């Protein structure tokens, strides 16, 4: 490809609304342009990168025996109703009607659809296992699209689905996908780690997220450098130090006036009751039922843990008027002592605690001397709290770190949720009907592109790994001499014949402009042909990542650069 024919609208300055490095650089380097919030056009360079990412994904999926499909994007809403997820997906799912009034949705994922086709086509255990996948556009009405390709409303996903006869088969399919994902991210140059995660609305018994650290990430991952323990904050645990000097509770909770107390910190400051000696009372509406949620005062709630523990499909903080109607007080003076008409869910860190303080359900009044087991009717105990950096690892006891990350892949053991909902059965070895067990596995393609840029960039621009770069080599003639142009063209053709994806920068621009654009775009290697070098029979070769330039004999340049590119490909 000749640069003069390319559409690469590079910018000299960062876009004003871009904060994430990938967002800034993909816009500046002419890879993407925004149509509306969460909807991006991929320009020619980005399409080339996406093709390379998709090729790697396909190769690794085919390697484990998965077969590619192409599914409809528009689905009958009735199928999602059968699985129970039409309501669960809520406002994030795009809904529409056709001209006959039929309810339709745009697919966010395809568990229901693949299961529907499996029910139509799988008849015997002899057809199992099956692993099916697609690379397909998905839609999600993301409430806060931001950070360029990291959080969008329209995106390409590789989603795959496994159908096995039993749990042992599911375990095998799950591990095949785990290994495939590890190879995919290594080849893409994404430093991803697998972490324990919540299954959320997908359901199932287990899930692993593949996360990569970035300042732009909105997910928190808890990680132990000692033993390798890693979990999304929605799933992470730690070992809390036991309270060894806890005084006995009083004979009964004692009320005391707290007219100026509104927060945990207020109570700690004004009444010498540190957060660890307080019971924080939150009020949530879980599937329409008002529920008290209790944590230690210095701990924060992870809402997903609450949903997972209770099985709630919808969870939201209660409104002030709902709270006052139920408890007779406003937030800041709430507690569960003596409450018997509302469900109470408590964090495990409160189990066995005595001499605690909490709100009295009277504005401006708290109680102390609370024995949690004696004074509070806890209906359910669960791990609800958010882990903080420095807490001991639950596996080895070393301090945990918490890092901002973005999810680049997620694998689930779905179990029988969709098989049951959509009547998927096959004949087993004994001639009786048996229900296949399922798994599902996803990778966001455009998010993966952004994650690569997050991990590979510098102050000059993007540093694409050779495996996904839009071009592997740029040939740059400097000067207007016919001999320079002729030599550059011959070298360009020789590299192409050697299988190297090459761009010839034949623009009538100053050398500085060409070099700056090539660095911004992130082409891994550059060959420069100038008058002085040509007179000496050499060209200049430079690596984008290394930055150092060296001279190569012109006669050997194509062969040596092709060998270097092949070596770089092999390393990934």
How confident is the model at residue 143, as a pLDDT?
Answer: 87
The reply to whether 289 falls in a domain is yes
For residue 43, give both structure tokens: 């320009």
| pLDDT tens column, 207-234 | 899 999 998 888 899 999 889 898 888 8
* Distance from C-alpha of 485 to C-alpha of 491, rounded to nearest angstrom: 10
- 283 and 376 in one domain? yes
Note down the domain range covering 537. 471-571
* Distance from C-alpha of 155 to C-alpha of 142, rounded to nearest angstrom: 11
| Contact between residue 504 and residue 451 where contact means Cβ atoms under 8 Å apart | no
Q: What is the mean pLDDT of residues 325-335?
A: 94
The reply to whether 261 falls in a domain is yes
Q: Which of 422, 454, 486 is the last residue of a domain?
A: 454
140-146 own/partner pairs: CB under 8 Å, 24+ apart: 140/92, 140/93, 140/108, 141/91, 141/92, 141/93, 141/94, 142/38, 142/92, 143/91, 143/92, 145/37, 145/38, 146/19
pTM: 0.87
| pLDDT tens column, 545-561 | 987 889 999 999 999 99
- 301 and 347 in one domain? yes
Q: Give the count of alpha carbons within 13 A of 117, CB side only.
A: 15
In the chain, what percentage of residues exceed pLDDT 90?
A: 86
How confident is the model at residue 105, as a pLDDT?
Answer: 96
Residue (of 14, 406, 408) closest to 216 by Cα position: 406
Residue 205 has pLDDT above 70, yes or no: no
- 133 and 20 in one domain? yes
Cα torsion for 469, 473, 478, 482, to the nearest 10°?
Answer: -130
Confidence of residue 203 (pLDDT cuts 50, 70, 90): low
How confident is the model at residue 204, as a pLDDT?
Answer: 56
Strands (E), 109-235: 130-139, 154-164, 192-196, 206-213, 219-223, 230-232
91-95 own/partner pairs: CB under 8 Å, 24+ apart: 91/141, 91/143, 92/140, 92/141, 92/142, 92/143, 93/140, 93/141, 94/139, 94/141
Q: What's 553's domain CATH number? A: 3.40.50.800
Q: What's 370's domain CATH number? A: 3.90.960.10
The reply to whether 169 falls in a domain is yes
| pLDDT tens column, 181-198 | 999 999 999 999 998 877
Q: Average the pLDDT over each of 115-124, 242-251, 479-488 and give the range with the smallest value.
A: 242-251
Residue 149 has pLDDT above 70, yes or no: yes
Per-residue DSSP letter, 311: T
| Contact between residue 345 and residue 380 where contact means Cβ atoms under 8 Å apart | yes
How confident is the model at residue 200, as a pLDDT?
Answer: 60
- 367 and 262 in one domain? yes
| pLDDT tens column, 160-182 | 999 999 999 999 999 999 999 99
Confidence of residue 118 (pLDDT cuts 50, 70, 90): very high
| Contact between residue 422 and residue 441 where contact means Cβ atoms under 8 Å apart | no
* Distance from C-alpha of 392 to C-alpha of 210, rounded to nearest angstrom: 23
For residue 553, give both structure tokens: 């004999």
Confidence of residue 247 (pLDDT cuts 50, 70, 90): confident
Q: Exposed, middle or buried: residue 205 (CB in 10 Å: 0-12, 13-18, 19+)?
A: middle
Residue reference for tokens 């959080």: 151
With b for 16 or more beta-carbon neighbours within 10 A and e for fewer, the 303-339 pattern comes to bbbbbbbbebeebeebeeeebeebbebbbbbbbbbeb
How confident is the model at residue 533, as a pLDDT?
Answer: 92
| Contact between residue 209 and residue 222 where contact means Cβ atoms under 8 Å apart | no
Query: Per the structure, how many domains does the chain have?
Result: 3
- 539 and 445 in one domain? no
How confident is the model at residue 454, as a pLDDT?
Answer: 96
- 231 and 296 in one domain? no
Cis (ω within 30 of 0) for the bond into 389?
A: no
């Amino acid at each position: 490809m000749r640069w003069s024919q390319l559409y690469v609208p590079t910018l000299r300055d960062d876009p004003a609304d871009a904060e994430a490095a990938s967002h800034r650089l993909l816009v500046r380097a002419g890879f993407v342009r925004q149509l509306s919030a969460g909807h991006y056009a991929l320009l020619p360079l980005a399409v080339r990168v996406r093709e390379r990412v998709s090729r790697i994904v396909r190769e690794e999926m085919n390697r484990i025996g998965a077969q590619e499909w192409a599914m409809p994007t528009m689905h009958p809403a009735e199928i999602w109703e059968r699985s129970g997820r039409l309501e669960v997906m809520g406002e994030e799912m795009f809904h529409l009607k056709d001209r006959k009034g039929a309810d339709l949705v745009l697919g966010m994922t395809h568990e229901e659809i693949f299961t529907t086709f499996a029910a139509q086509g799988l008849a015997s255990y002899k057809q199992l296992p099956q692993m099916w996948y697609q690379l397909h556009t998905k839609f999600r009405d993301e409430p806060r699209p931001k950070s360029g390709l990291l959080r969008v409303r329209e995106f390409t996903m590789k989603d795959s689905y496994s159908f096995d006869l039993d749990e042992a088969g599911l375990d095998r399919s799950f591990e095949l996908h785990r290994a495939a994902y590890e190879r995919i991210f290594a080849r893409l140059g994404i430093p991803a780690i697998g972490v324990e995660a919540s299954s959320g609305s997908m359901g199932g018994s287990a899930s692993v997220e593949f996360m990569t650290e970035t300042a732009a990430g909105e997910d928190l991952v808890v990680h132990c450098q000692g033993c390798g323990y890693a979990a999304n904050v929605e799933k992470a645990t730690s070992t809390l130090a036991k309270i060894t000097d806890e005084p006995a509770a009083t004979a009964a909770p004692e009320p005391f006036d707290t007219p100026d107390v509104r927060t945990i910190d207020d109570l700690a400051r004004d009444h010498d009751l540190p957060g660890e000696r307080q019971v924080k009372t939150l009020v949530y509406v879980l599937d329409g039922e008002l529920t008290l949620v209790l944590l230690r005062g210095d701990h924060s709630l992870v809402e997903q843990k609450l949903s997972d523990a209770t099985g709630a499909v919808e969870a939201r903080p209660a409104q002030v008027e709902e709270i006052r109607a139920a408890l007779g007080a406003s937030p800041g003076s709430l507690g569960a002592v003596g409450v018997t008409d509302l469900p109470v869910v408590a964090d495990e860190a409160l189990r066995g605690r005595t001499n605690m303080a909490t709100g009295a359900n009277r504005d401006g009044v708290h109680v102390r001397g609370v024995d949690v087991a004696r004074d509070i009717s806890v209906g359910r105990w669960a791990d609800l709290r958010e882990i903080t950096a420095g807490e001991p690892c639950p596996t080895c006891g070393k301090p945990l770190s918490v890092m901002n990350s973005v999810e680049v892949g997620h694998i689930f053991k779905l179990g029988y949720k969709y098989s049951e909902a959509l009547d998927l059965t096959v004949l087993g070895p004994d001639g009786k009907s048996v229900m296949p067990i399922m798994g599902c596995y996803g990778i966001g393609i455009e998010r993966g592109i952004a994650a690569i840029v997050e991990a590979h960039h510098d102050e000059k621009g993007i540093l694409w790994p050779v495996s996904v770069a839009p071009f592997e080599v740029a040939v740059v003639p400097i000067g207007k001499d016919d001999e320079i142009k002729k030599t550059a063209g011959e070298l360009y053709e020789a590299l192409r014949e050697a299988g190297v994806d090459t761009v010839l920068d034949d623009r009538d621009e100053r050398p500085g402009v060409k070099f700056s654009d090539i660095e911004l775009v992130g082409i891994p290697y550059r060959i420069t042909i100038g008058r002085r070098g040509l007179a000496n029979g050499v060209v200049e070769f430079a690596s984008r990542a290394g930055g150092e330039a060296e001279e190569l004999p012109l006669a050997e340049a194509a062969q040596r650069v092709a060998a270097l590119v092949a070596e770089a490909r092999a390393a990934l």
